[in-house]
Chain A
Amino acid sequence: MADKKSTAELKQIASQVRRDILRMVHAVQSGHPGGSLGCTEFFTALYFHQMDLKLPFAMDGKGEDLFFLSNGHISPVWYSTLARRGYFEVKELATFRHINSRLQGHPATEEGLEGIRIASGSLGQGLSVALGAAQTKKLNGEDQLVYVLMGDGEQQEGQVWEAAMYAAHHKIDNVIATIDYNGQQIDGPLTEVMDLMDLKAKWEAFGWDVITSNGNDFDSLIPALEKAKSMCGKGKPVMHLMTTAMGAGVDFMEGTHKWHGIAPNDEQLANALGQLEETLKDY
């Protein structure tokens, strides 16, 4: 069942998730903090408010909402959220990116980590996977939804648009896709690297209903996700363009691509943690 936390509770969880992200990435001196921090409210909202989930984890996902992460490099935020939601022990976060860990650099099923249903990291594949899972839900007569998150830089992959076309043609209306629209990719701002131009118009032209939100503000994000849910079942796929700030929650990381895939040093970690209350216990 969906665990509907209050906005105050969600903010507390988000603060802890951000601490987890920073500590995980710092401990192994690798990983992707920027996008993880930017999507913290989204993951918190999905797993602690929106999604109808079943624990313990079952790969087949029957009778529950499903989530797929297409931009797998923001694995730290997903791992922290899953652990905090009870999929596996929080202390396992300490193994992130180390040898013999179930918490691979990019999400994987190979080691059997609860909560992960497909490997991702090589970009552009998650929307296709989500659409397939959504069609299986329909074939099975299930009315739960399938969520998928993609990056905005990922929109440069051609497969995304193959999937976009397919979803509208086949009227897949039990999927809610979200794009983390932070405007940044590894080499710089999207507008400089490869401009997406009018992304909303593109998705609308592909036959999707598009809504927008501020993904770092629960008061904007939760209503948007509720609205997305209400738009399902009406013969069209739903796209949620979620504006976020890369690195959100840590002042010196916010709004720049520089922290896409860089770990903070000891001093930077201390500075960042000083900005984030330890609301649940650090692992």
Chain B
Amino acid sequence: MSVKFSYTDKIDTRSGFGAGLLELGRTNPNVVGLCADLTGSLKMGDFKKEFPDRFFQVGIAEANMIGLAAGMTIGGKIPFTGTFANFSTGRVYDQIRQSVAYSGKNVKICASHAGLTLGEDGATHQILEDIGMMKMLPHMTVINPCDYNQTKAATIAIADHEGPVYLRFGRPAIPNFTPADQKFEIGKALHLIEGSDVTILATGHLVWEAIEAEAILREKGISVEVINIHTIKPLDEEAILASAKKTGKVITAEEHQYHGGLGESVARVLAKHHPTPMDFVAVEDSFGESGKPADLMKKYGLSAAHIVEKVQKLLKK
């Protein structure tokens, strides 16, 4: 099997966030960082060191952090909050809803350790519902980049976007295959591989799995189109519809619950404009558990092999 993308190193997406934030610190004096006692995990240490006056340690008090960030926008600051995805969303949903989204505040909620790949800490920390919660909020932009370079580029891009953003990334080291000099366009799907039999729409850590799945399927004579949907809201409906019309079959892949995830957003678009046979690679209404990230992805049906299996089933229909 030969994947169509090469990479020289595996690196975590959260480090892409840390690098992007540091660069923003140097280029945009209005950017400030807030962290709820997870500076190391969020890779915010370099920003803190270089810009101590623009970094705010909040302690283990996420609700307060969201309110502070909302307040800091008044007067022109662009706050980037950092904590685990679970504590960035579920724990503070009402604070985000009222003080950030409904109030239209320019807060960037940056969330690491999303999904099963958080690993050994287990289900209490493995949030798989955050995309759903965040995409339901009016005014909110939801982004889930796929590798280090894309996460760094997305971090830099959202500073120039006026309005609340949820930026979701993760813990494990994964292939870094997108270009280092890319320009990140919010809401613009990225065509990775052209194909004609089936479309895979993947987000976050599942993008690399989709690339591997394409290689396996190609050997079986199946032509797969792989599109990276890094922005779940606003969704690039045009790109999704064009690909669905071309291939006639669509699979979505995400490290998230089936309920409320990317797949449902895609299904909404297709149901409305161009009903297309679909299947979904996502967690099927269950919590996660402790384990090694790769083992968990296999157990919960989120690996390249599962994408291959679902594509083959869909093509037989």
- Tell me whether A128 and B103 are in contact in the complex, defined as CB-CB below 8 angstroms, given that A60-B74, A119-B98, A137-B75 are known contacts: no
Beyond known contacts A122-B97, A135-B68, A166-B58: 12 more, CB 8 A cutoff: A60-B76, A68-B71, A108-B103, A118-B71, A128-B70, A132-B71, A139-B54, A140-B76, A162-B59, A162-B63, A163-B64, A166-B64
Is B99 a contact of A170 with CB atoms below 8 Å? no
Q: Is B66 an interface residue (CB 8 A)?
A: yes
Question: If the complex has contacts A158-B63, A159-B67, are A132 and B72 also in contact, measured as CB distance less than 8 A?
Answer: yes
Write the B33-44 contact mask toward A (1 if CB under 8 angstroms, else 0): 000000000000
**Cβ contact within 8 Å between A136 and B99:** no
When chains A and B are docked, how far (Å) is the Cα of A63 from the Cα of B102? 25
The answer for the CA separation of A129 and B73 in the assembled complex, in Å, is 9
A128 to B70, CA, bound (A): 8
What residues of B have a CB within 8 angstroms of the CB of A68 in the complex? Answer: 71
B75 adjacent to A60 (CB under 8 Å): yes
A108 CA to B66 CA, complexed, in Å: 17
Bound CA–CA A130/B76 (angstroms): 14
Using Cβ atoms and an 8 Å threshold, which residues of chain A touch B77? 136, 139
Do B53 and A109 touch across chains, with their CB atoms under 8 A apart? no
A133 touches B (CB below 8 Å): yes
Query: A165 near B: Cβ within 8 Å?
Result: yes
Task: Please give, as numbers and ranges, the residues of chain B lying within 8 Å of A120 by CB-CB distance.
Answer: 98
Contacts of A169 in B (CB 8 A): 59
On whether the beta carbons of B66 and A128 are closer than 8 Å, the reply is: yes
Complex contact A133–B98 (CB within 8 A): no
Q: Are B63 and A128 in contact (CB under 8 A)?
A: yes
CB contact under 8 A between A130 and B98, given known A118-B103, A159-B64: no
A17 within 8 A of B: no
In the bound complex, how far is the Cα of B79 from the Cα of A137, in angstroms?
A: 14
Q: What are 8 A-B contacts defined by CB distance under 8 Å?
A: A118-B74, A125-B95, A128-B66, A128-B99, A132-B68, A133-B72, A140-B76, A142-B75
| Also in contact, A165 and B99, with CB within 8 A (given A61-B75, A129-B68, A136-B74) | no
A117 at the B interface (CB under 8 A):
yes
Contact A132 B70 (CB under 8 A): yes
Q: Within A161-177, which residues are at the interface with B (CB < 8 Å)? A: 162-163, 165-166, 169-170
Residues of A within 8 A of B98 (CB): 119-122, 125
Q: Lowest 6 A-B CB distances belong to which pairs?
A: A128-B67, A132-B71, A162-B61, A162-B64, A132-B68, A136-B75
Q: In the complex the two chains form, what is the Cα distance from A154 to B114 in whole Å? A: 32
For B64, the chain A residues whose CB sits under 8 A away are 128, 131, 159, 162-163, 166
Q: Contact mask A93-126 → B, CB, 8 Å, 1/0?
A: 0000000000000001110000001111110111
Partner of B67, one of A132, A134, A136, A170: A132
Q: Please name all residues of chain B whose beta carbon is closer than 8 Å to the beta carbon of A140 when the two chains form the complex.
A: 75-76
Task: Give bound CA distance, A162 to B66, whole Å.
Answer: 11
Q: Which of B61, B79, B94, B103 has the most CB of A within 10 A?
A: B103
Q: Residue on A with the closest CB to B95? A: A125
Give complex CA distance A129, B68 in Å: 5
B61 touching A129, Cβ below 8 Å = no
A118 CA to B54 CA, complexed, in Å = 22
> Shortest beta-carbon distance, A41 to chain B, in Å?
26
